[in-house]
Amino acid sequence: MSHYFSNRETFKEIILIPVIATFLAISLGLLLLIFSGSSSEIALKALIALFLGSFGSLSAISETFTAATPLILAALGIAIGFRAGLFNIGAEGQIILGGMAAVIIGFSFHLPFVFHIIFVLLAGALFGAFYAFISGWLKAVTGAHEVITTIMLNLIAYRLLDFFLRISWIQKEGRNDPISKSILETAELPRIFYVLDPNLRVHTGFLIAIIAVLVVYWLIFHTTIGYEFRAVGKNLEASRYGGINPALTIIIAMSSAGLLAGLAGASQIAGILGRATPGFSAGIGFDAIAVALLGRAHPIGVLFAGILFGALIAGGREMQVSADVSLDLITVIQALIIIFIAAPILIQKLFPWIFK
């Protein structure tokens, strides 16, 4: 169906460039390891660990998908923003808000199993959406740039979380450190392979993420709303001429982005963490920006980029354990990937024969 619209991202752009970027980044990362004094054996061991830890076994794959889940969800939101010409730095704050809402609903209501989960996810999504709405509204009404407002809102979210974790009815009974009560069992997202092996952590949040990929794809390319997002993002004047209300479109795009980030936060609480602690968002909102860039703001691209980043996280842990290589190497590799993605021309120049 892709021939109806000019999402001109070809196979080369969505798949080939990211793959080459990753390949280059990992090679450079390992070279760096050798230059910093490690033997080439250790580098080789690290490489093997990276692979085994991410795709080498069922439990490795489970870890990869687990780490990928919130990244994919939040990055889909950021991708929607990109399409509408918005640079949303605020996924981190939106994840925190979504997670906080999920915690409250998760421990304070007694509901039957499926309903409780749905309620938790909805609350997370709504709070994330609301938090992003603030930035969208500020931009639409006052012209305040979303980069500035989302960064400020991130900082506010961190402080809000600190405050939140010390409210007496939220803080875990008998604890002095900032930690919330745990959500009830009915609010937990069930693990997908529970029957196979209860230790496989990948949970139904991953399935939700895949559904979200399809929904966002449909939204962007097959609905009037997606058309409006893309028109406003590409040519504001022409979109006005076409009868689109750019202010409203920006608000909707921003809120949808927050909805997905909020969902990421809720899925993280209900699928993995079970409670909120300071820093439970773990920079996922920032990594998600990288994932959205790597995926070229295309839902399918985001899915693969999210899995790749998940693999780097899972494999990185294994690398640390079995090759005793610092986890920082993974951060370096992630950063290199972004540099190569941000400079696609560089890759085309390096491998001209592939892009003939």
Cβ at position 301, least distance to other proteins in Å: 17
Examine residue 234 and tell whether it contacts other proteins (CB under 8 A). Answer: yes
CA neighbor of 269 nearest in space, from 179, 144, 168, 156: 179
Cβ at position 12, least distance to other proteins in Å: 15
Q: Is the dihedral of CA 104, 109, 110, 113 positive or negative?
A: negative
Examine residue 23 and tell whether it contacts other proteins (CB under 8 A). Answer: no
Piece of 125-133, 220-228, 287-295, 338-346 that binds other proteins (CB under 8 A): 220-228
Helices 224-234 and 58-83, packing angle to 10 deg: 70
Examine residue 225 and tell whether it contacts other proteins (CB under 8 A). Answer: yes
Examine residue 8 and tell whether it contacts other proteins (CB under 8 A). Answer: yes
Window 235-274: contact mask with other proteins (x via CB under 8 A) = x-xxxxxxx-x-----------------------------
Cα distances (Å, whole numbers) of residue 30 to 24, 155, 332: 10, 35, 10
Q: 4 or 169: whose CB is closer to other proteins? A: 4
What tokens were used for 8?
């001109």
**Separation CA 258–CA 88 (nearest Å):** 9
Is residue 130 helix, strand or coil?
helix
Cβ at position 129, least distance to other proteins in Å: 18
Q: Which of 14, 61, 231, 260 binds other proteins (CB under 8 A)?
A: 231
Cβ at position 224, least distance to other proteins in Å: 5
Cα distances (Å, whole numbers) of residue 244 to 6, 237, 341: 19, 10, 32
Examine residue 227 and tell whether it contacts other proteins (CB under 8 A). Answer: yes
How many residues touch other proteins (CB under 8 A)? Answer: 23
Examine residue 175 and tell whether it contacts other proteins (CB under 8 A). Answer: no
CA 98 to chain centre: 13
**How many beta carbons lie within 10 A of that of residue 351, not counting itself?**
14
Examine residue 112 and tell whether it contacts other proteins (CB under 8 A). Answer: no
What tokens were used for 316?
């990185």
Q: 36 or 224: whose CB is closer to other proteins? A: 224
**Separation CA 239–CA 236 (nearest Å):** 5
Beta bridge partners of 191: 203
Q: Which of 36, 142, 168, 224 binds other proteins (CB under 8 A)?
A: 224
Examine residue 1 and tell whether it contacts other proteins (CB under 8 A). Answer: yes
Single-letter amino acid code for the residue at 115? F
Burial of 13 (0-12, 13-18, 19+ CB in 10 A): middle
Q: 191 or 230: whose CB is closer to other proteins? A: 230
Q: 174 or 243: whose CB is closer to other proteins? A: 243
Cβ at position 146, least distance to other proteins in Å: 21
Q: 46 or 220: whose CB is closer to other proteins? A: 220
What tokens were used for 347?
């890759």
Residue entry with tokens 């609903």? 105
Piece of 195-203, 226-234, 327-335, 347-355 that binds other proteins (CB under 8 A): 226-234
Examine residue 289 and tell whether it contacts other proteins (CB under 8 A). Answer: no
Task: Name the maximum alpha-carbon separation found in the chain.
Answer: 66
Piece of 119-127, 147-155, 218-226, 258-266 that binds other proteins (CB under 8 A): 218-226
Residues near other proteins, by CB under 8 A: 1, 3-6, 8, 222-225, 227, 230-231, 234-235, 237-243, 245
